[in-house]
């Protein structure tokens, strides 16, 4: 490996060789191979639990049948919410917890990945003056949540009312007829949800956790798990003093008596030029709903996401959820209620859906939109700890509660939770990040590691070129993902370390570059 392209946090690199070494050590039968905590699932919550346990001084193994952020954690709206929706529904504890966790991410642990995002709620003829007043009061209450969470005003500016001219300046695609103005608010926005998970997992690795993808849990027991190496088909045992089941929507398949009621959230992918210049995201009220919105989310990479739905899902849980045409039609209809441009079905260049692992409380009748997003930590009679529910924003607190329960269940000796003050890989003070002499887009995705990624392109000009015309991801980023971020195949590269794969047309173009990155790095000693 070229020493000039090393990561900023020693020990944080994940690659195929490290995976093989650590899997062999954990399953080799040595007397010291047992770990204190085995975490099953490497979404945000599972990776967070691995980091939490490792920073408390526990020995940790964390496994996933597929890849980092393979499940729900890569299908979100890429937002770190402050809890306004939960405040409106009376879930004060969830709202406060969300605001606190948002502040931790934005100001302490991941300021390079989470930044302030402005949103405009357009006051169209479909929004009554009473609804506008209620929304305005809600945004002010959301600002009080910010105060209660002790998040700086410089981090999240104050909400305010906009004139019609100001509203269309931020979002020219809005229909001017009947537009009375808008409401400007702010929330946290991720550069990429899967990148957050990657950063959490790599930080856990830097603190000594064994992070193993392509390792499927077949059976969970109080003292470990039977697993299968998905690259070879070999079945092996990992011994542990306690087990945390953080498998998300698949958690119920590993532990009895855990009942989930998944909810599907669908997003559309549009080309940016379809909606013109968007300087802010949009909250478009859903006609007939008092507290539900469709979000229009400019990504800064030539794409815009439009979402999301909240529909119950029955039956078996697929690895990759399909997007029903009914969801696409619904989102396009809501868009059409506010925009001056017509977005046709043919303009939808991609779509994705995620399944929220909501706890089935059996007393929650009706829509999954009405089920609380509060997480739950359950300890089975066999001693396996399962964490379900919650949302991406509160992953750290979910992980903390899960590790607390695991420490109790396993009778372990551990220090207090530290993750509220542990910076993730790439984190640095804003003034440090602002002073990096590299493209801002790289800083937003890699933080303090951006110069090392950029240097790969300087050393090999072929790697400096975008792998897809019109999309900013370069070959250097693919090589970095294989060398340091645990990417093992083209899907890891195109669908999770980058988001190229959300548009099938772009994915096809990028396949060759992805294979080249995997081939090039396999030659590095």
Whether 367 and 273 have beta carbons less than 8 Å apart is answered as: no
Can you give the pLDDT at residue 82?
85
Q: What b-and-e string marks burial along 167-188, b requiring 16 or more CB atoms within 10 Å of the CB?
A: bbebbebbbeeebbbbbbbbbb
The residue that leads in pLDDT, 368 or 191, is 191
CA distance 370 to 182: 27
pLDDT at 520 over 80: no
pTM over 0.85? The answer is yes
Three-class DSSP labels, 245-284: ECCHHHHHHCCCCCCECCEEEEEEEEEHHHCCCCCCEEEE
The 3-state DSSP class for residue 308 equals coil
CA distance 243 to 246: 9
- For the segment 307-354, what is each residue's pLDDT rounded down to a tens digit? 988 888 888 889 999 999 999 999 999 999 999 999 999 999 999 999
> Tokens 């887009």 identify what position?
441
Can you give the pLDDT at residue 58?
98
Can you give the pLDDT at residue 3?
38
Tokens representing residue 188 in the block = 């946290």
Average pLDDT over residues 215-240: 96
CA distance 269 to 77: 11
Can you give the pLDDT at residue 362?
54
Average pLDDT over residues 274-288: 91
**Closest C-alpha among 288, 395, 309 to residue 354:** 309
The 3-state DSSP class for residue 4 equals helix
Can you give the pLDDT at residue 84?
79
Average pLDDT over residues 238-242: 96
CA distance 218 to 235: 9
Can you give the pLDDT at residue 332?
97
Residue ranges in 339-464 assigned as alpha helix (H):
395-410, 430-434, 440-446, 450-459
Beta-carbon count within 10 A of 153 CB: 10
Whether 311 and 263 have beta carbons less than 8 Å apart is answered as: yes
The 3-state DSSP class for residue 288 equals coil
Residues paired with 162 in a beta bridge: 182
- For the segment 60-105, what is each residue's pLDDT rounded down to a tens digit? 999 999 999 999 999 999 999 987 777 777 788 888 999 999 999 9
- Percent of the chain exceeding pLDDT 90 equals 80
The 3-state DSSP class for residue 441 equals helix
CA distance 323 to 317: 13
> Tokens 């193994």 identify what position?
61
pLDDT at 369 over 50: no
Give 3-state DSSP helix, strand, coil % of the chain, rounded to 5. Answer: 40, 20, 35
Eight-class DSSP state of 155: T
Three-class DSSP labels, 187-226: EEEECCHHHHHHHHHHHHHHCCCEEECCEEEEEEECCEEE
Tokens representing residue 119 in the block = 């949103």
Q: Which residues contact 83 (CB under 8 A, 6 or more apart)?
A: 94, 95, 96, 97, 98, 99, 102, 142, 145, 393
Whether 261 and 360 have beta carbons less than 8 Å apart is answered as: yes
> Tokens 């299968």 identify what position?
228
Q: Place 56 in a pLDDT band, splitting at 50, 70 and 90.
A: very high
CA distance 142 to 136: 10
**Closest C-alpha among 78, 80, 153, 145 to residue 396:** 80
Range scoring the smallest mean pLDDT among 210-224, 282-296, 412-426, 449-463:
282-296
Eight-class DSSP state of 91: -
Average pLDDT, the chain: 92
CA distance 425 to 448: 8
The 3-state DSSP class for residue 350 equals strand
Eight-class DSSP state of 344: -
CA distance 212 to 384: 19
- What are the phi and psi torsion angles at 186 (to 5°)? -135, 145
Whether 489 and 518 have beta carbons less than 8 Å apart is answered as: yes
Q: With the CA atoms of 311, 317, 320 and 325 taken in that order, what torsion angle do they form, in degrees rounded to the nearest 10?
A: -40
Average pLDDT over residues 207-213: 98
Can you give the pLDDT at residue 31?
63
- For the segment 169-198, what is each residue's pLDDT rounded down to a tens digit? 999 999 999 999 999 999 999 999 999 999
**Closest C-alpha among 44, 46, 22, 26 to residue 385:** 46
Can you give the pLDDT at residue 4?
47
Can you give the pLDDT at residue 361?
64
Q: Which residues contact 21 (CB under 8 A, 6 or more apart)?
A: none
- What are the phi and psi torsion angles at 170 (to 5°)? -75, -30
Q: Is the dihedral of CA 480, 486, 492, 497 positive or negative?
A: negative
Can you give the pLDDT at residue 475?
97
pLDDT at 364 over 70: no
Can you give the pLDDT at residue 90?
76
The 3-state DSSP class for residue 293 equals strand
CB-based burial of residue 222 (10 Å sphere; 0-12 exposed, 13-18 middle, 19+ buried)? middle
Q: Place 5 in a pLDDT band, splitting at 50, 70 and 90.
A: low
- What are the phi and psi torsion angles at 257 (to 5°)? 70, 15
- For the segment 100-133, what is each residue's pLDDT rounded down to a tens digit? 999 999 999 999 999 999 999 999 999 999 999 9
pLDDT at 30 over 80: no
Average pLDDT over residues 161-169: 97
pLDDT at 268 over 60: yes
**How far does CA 316 lie from the centroid of its chain?**
23
State how beta strands 114-122 and 182-190 pair.
antiparallel
Q: Place 261 in a pLDDT band, splitting at 50, 70 and 90.
A: confident
Can you give the pLDDT at residue 390?
87
Can you give the pLDDT at residue 224?
95
The residue that leads in pLDDT, 404 or 277, is 404
Whether 40 and 221 have beta carbons less than 8 Å apart is answered as: no
């Amino acid at each position: 490996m070229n020493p000039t392209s090393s990561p900023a946090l020693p020990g944080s690199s994940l690659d195929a060789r490290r995976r093989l070494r650590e899997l062999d050590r954990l399953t080799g039968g040595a007397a010291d191979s047992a770990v204190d905590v085995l975490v099953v699932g490497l979404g945000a919550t599972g990776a967070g639990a691995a980091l939490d346990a490792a920073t408390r001084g526990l020995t940790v193994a964390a496994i996933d049948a597929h890849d980092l952020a393979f499940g729900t954690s890569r299908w979100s709206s890429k937002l770190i919410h402050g809890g306004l929706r939960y405040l409106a529904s009376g879930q004060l504890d969830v709202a406060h917890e969300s605001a606190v966790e948002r502040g931790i991410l934005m100001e302490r642990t991941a300021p390079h990945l989470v930044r302030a995002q402005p949103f405009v709620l357009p006051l169209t003829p479909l929004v009554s003056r009473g609804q506008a007043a209620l929304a305005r009061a809600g945004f002010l209450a959301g600002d009080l949540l910010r105060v209660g969470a002790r998040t700086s005003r410089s981090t999240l500016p104050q909400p305010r009312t906009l004139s019609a001219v100001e509203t269309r300046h931020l979002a020219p695609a809005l229909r001017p007829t009947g537009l009375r103005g808008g409401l400007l608010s702010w929330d946290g926005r991720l550069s990429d949800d899967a990148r957050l998970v990657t950063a959490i997992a790599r930080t856990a690795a830097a603190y000594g956790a064994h992070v193993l993808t392509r390792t499927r849990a077949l059976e969970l027991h109080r003292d470990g798990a039977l697993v299968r190496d998905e690259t070879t088909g070999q079945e092996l045992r990992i011994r542990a003093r306690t087990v945390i089941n953080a498998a998300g929507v698949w958690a119920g398949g590993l532990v009895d008596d855990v009942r989930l009621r998944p909810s599907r959230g669908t997003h559309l992918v549009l080309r940016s030029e379809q909606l013109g210049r968007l300087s802010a995201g949009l909250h478009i009220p859903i006609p007939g709903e008092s507290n539900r919105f469709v979000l229009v989310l400019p990504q800064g990479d030539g794409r815009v996401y439009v979402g999301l739905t909240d529909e119950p899902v029955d039956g078996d849980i697929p690895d990759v959820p399909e997007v029903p045409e009914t969801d696409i039609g619904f989102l396009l209809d809501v868009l059409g209620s506010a925009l001056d441009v017509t977005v046709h079905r043919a303009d939808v260049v991609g779509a994705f859906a995620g399944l929220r692992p909501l706890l089935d409380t059996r007393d929650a009748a009706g829509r999954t939109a009405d089920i609380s997003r509060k997480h739950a930590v359950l300890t089975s009679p066999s001693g396996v700890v399962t964490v379900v529910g919650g949302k991406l924003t509160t992953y750290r607190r979910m992980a903390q509660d899960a590790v607390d329960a695991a420490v109790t269940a396993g009778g372990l000796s551990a220090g207090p939770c530290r993750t509220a003050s542990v910076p993730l890989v790439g984190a640095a003070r804003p003034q440090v990040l602002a002073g990096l002499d590299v493209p801002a887009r790289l800083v937003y995705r890699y933080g303090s590691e951006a110069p090392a990624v950029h240097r790969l392109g300087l050393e090999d000009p072929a790697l400096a070129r975008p792998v897809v015309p019109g999309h900013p991801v370069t070959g250097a980023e693919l090589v970095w993902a294989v060398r340091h971020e645990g990417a093992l195949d083209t899907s890891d590269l195109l669908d999770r370390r980058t988001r190229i794969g959300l548009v099938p047309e772009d994915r096809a173009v990028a396949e060759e570059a992805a294979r080249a990155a995997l081939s090039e790095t396999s030659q590095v000693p």
